[in-house]
Chains A and B, each alone.
Chain A
Amino acid sequence: MIKMKARTDCTNREASAIRGAAIIFALLTVSVFILILGHNPLSVYASMIEGAFGTLYRITETLRKSIPLIVASLGISLAFRLKFWNIGAEGQIMMGAMGATFCALNFPDLSPWILLPMMGAASIICGGIWGAIPAYFRAKWRTNETIFTLMMNYVALKWLTYLQYGPWKDPAALGFPKIPGFSPNAVLPDVFGLHAGWIIAIVLVVIVHLFIHHTQRGYEISVVGGSENTGRYAGMNVKNVIIYTLFFSGGICGICGMIEASGVNRTLSVEITRGAGYTAIITCWLSSLKAPVIPVVCVLFAAMIQGGTFIQMAFQIPQSAAQILQGTILFFVLGSEFFIRYRISMVKDTEPEEVE
């Protein structure tokens, strides 16, 4: 008879081995899927790697795609530490991008040294408010934040659509619904062949890591996330912790929007996020909410996305295959957590214990 027992003795090495095995099983499962489609899984995976890292240009593209994931994952990780299921990163990115765009369109002639920080601040405020609204109601009445933040995504999307088709429509575009391009002053400069967003991302990784582990406010997040009652008993203002954490969480996602609008698109459009807000939920969870791990996971995921576009050309496999691969990996890693938390052993006797 199989017996399960909770365990706490799982070392980091064992845990990594279990997660690694889960990823391999996920790749194998998707292989079966690729085989059914009539392709050789090994050559498909090989060309995904080739497509993501084969040339310097492709490496740059992969890194470019990893930046929004890193920044958004960092933002989400703050909320998840609080067990606040913020799935509103998508909307927070959009509102951040909107704040940055507002500055870029209204002050196109300011020096970049003033304009870019201003856009950054505007994106933090807009994204932060978008995150803090659901947090306020969650803190006050325990309103379900998952659905709230998700509905806010749709509101943000409709709002951007309104702006793009209405007040912010470029009059020079002959009726085509697009928002005007940014002036060169509002564009993030290139550093080593990639827009400066990568520097912002690295700085944010360090800041978030230090914030969580070396500041009082960061500590409060961990305590309240563990148990709200413990936090309350320790004299923390739990409501405030929830609200300001979500302001930071949304603010960081807002910065992601500013980077994408300024560094990549050089304008604002309804497609600004390209789903980064949702993908970042996966990458954030796979990183176990640890800031230093987030960039590693995000680069791998960006490689899957970039490699996905490549296999579309090489094998005519739709790009969304990458999305299925991502979902499958997360399924397996989620399932594998069980083996980290529980030990399974074979027992000979026939006690009335049974497996659920």
Chain B
Amino acid sequence: MDISFFTAAVVAGTPLLYAILGELITEKAGQLNLGVEGMMLMGAVVGFKTALLTGNPILALMGAMAAGALGAMIYGVLTVTLRANQVVAGLTLTIFGTGFSSFMGQGLMGEVIPESMKLFFADFKIPLLGDIPGIGPVFFNQGILVYTGYVITIIAGLYLYRTSIGLNLRAVGENTAAADAAGIKVSFYKYVHILIGGLLCGLAGAYLSLVYIPSWQENVTAGRGWIAVALVIFCRWNPYRVFAGAFLFGGLDIIGFRIQKYDFHISQYMIDMLPYIVTIVILILVSARKSSSGAPPASLGESYFREER
């Protein structure tokens, strides 16, 4: 394997990084949102369409984030205010988002992102860091969105573990009733972090349609949203582990394509199964180990209703 493989793995892992981070923050508030795939698709199509209409990368990214947040908002109203079942609400969001993206994406097939925008997302080397042998070319000779991914992950880690707001958030996810009794505005916290999750998932989708592909194809996410949900478990709800999860799976994502030139006697379709099978294996291993550190937020997936305590 040459170094370009690892560079490409980071690129392929970046949409996962944003999506995992979004879902992780949502889950920290005790909300299990299975609509990641749907929000990513909504972000992907709105971002792409905005890019074609305006040619402005910032507007495209903002449109994508707004679309993801819109999906998250629907989920939030249903699960926080109306206390609907979180699993079903998330699944519905995915079905809705899939329909939304193929509806909006009608006639976009084959359209390509304008050259001027590609320049905005193009790779550039970070001085000093980019010169470190091995690590430099892999991590620090990338596009702007890869770098913002690093920064956001670190910010998320600091936010969750080094600020009082982060502490409150974790309290909401661990023991909603106690957080409520302590005067934390539970619903407000849940809404805000569901929306942050939606923004990040929208961004993840936009990365796929604007940078990774970068043309329109139906169902661009191809299950990455679901893999992201699984990788939150793999990362054991720790934002710093998101780097490992995202880039490892970025590598798995591209290995099928890369391995072709080595003339293995394995069908490409079998190798394409790898990310999904590895996800399953990880799920099993994590559940079999059952260590107390890295457990999910204790109130994950439960509706909270103050008068029912």
B287 surroundings in chain A (CB, below 8 A): 137, 141-144
Flag if A324 contacts B78 (CB, 8 Å).
no
Alpha-carbon separation in the docked complex, A338 to B80 (Å): 11
Flag if A151 contacts B226 (CB, 8 Å).
yes
Q: Which stretch in B9-17, B90-98, B245-253 binds the other chain?
A: B90-98
Residues in B83-105 with C-beta less than 8 Å from chain A: 83-85, 87-89, 91-93, 95-96, 98-100, 102-103
Flag if B229 contacts A147 (CB, 8 Å).
yes
Flag if A330 contacts B95 (CB, 8 Å).
yes
Q: B-side binding surface: helix, strand, loop or mixed? A: helix
CB of A70 within 8 A of chain B? no
Size class of the A contact interface (CB-based, 8 Å): 35 or more
Alpha-carbon separation in the docked complex, A321 to B284 (Å): 38
CB of A158 within 8 A of chain B? yes
Which of A4, A152, A154, A162 neighbours the largest number of chain B CB atoms within 10 Å of its CB? A154
Q: Would you give the shortest CB distance from A149 to chain B, in whole angstroms?
A: 10
A161 surroundings in chain B (CB, below 8 A): 269, 272
Knowing A4-B307, A141-B290, A282-B92, the reply to whether A146 touches B284 (Cβ < 8 A) is: no
Flag if B89 contacts A323 (CB, 8 Å).
no
Q: Which stretch in B120-128, B146-154, B165-173, B273-281 binds the other chain?
A: B273-281
Further contacts, 14 of them, CB under 8 A, given A148-B280, A282-B95: A6-B307, A142-B287, A147-B279, A148-B283, A150-B223, A151-B283, A152-B280, A155-B280, A165-B269, A278-B95, A285-B88, A323-B96, A334-B82, A353-B307
24 of the cross-chain contacts (CB-CB < 8 Å) are A6-B307, A141-B284, A141-B287, A146-B87, A147-B279, A151-B223, A151-B277, A151-B279, A152-B280, A154-B273, A155-B273, A159-B273, A162-B270, A165-B269, A166-B267, A282-B95, A318-B103, A318-B106, A324-B100, A326-B99, A327-B100, A330-B95, A331-B92, A356-B306
- Give chain B's interface residues, CB within 8 Å of chain A: 34, 74, 77-78, 80-85, 87-89, 91-93, 95-96, 98-100, 102-103, 106, 186-187, 223, 226-227, 229-230, 233, 267, 269-270, 272-273, 276-277, 279-280, 283-284, 287-288, 290, 304-308
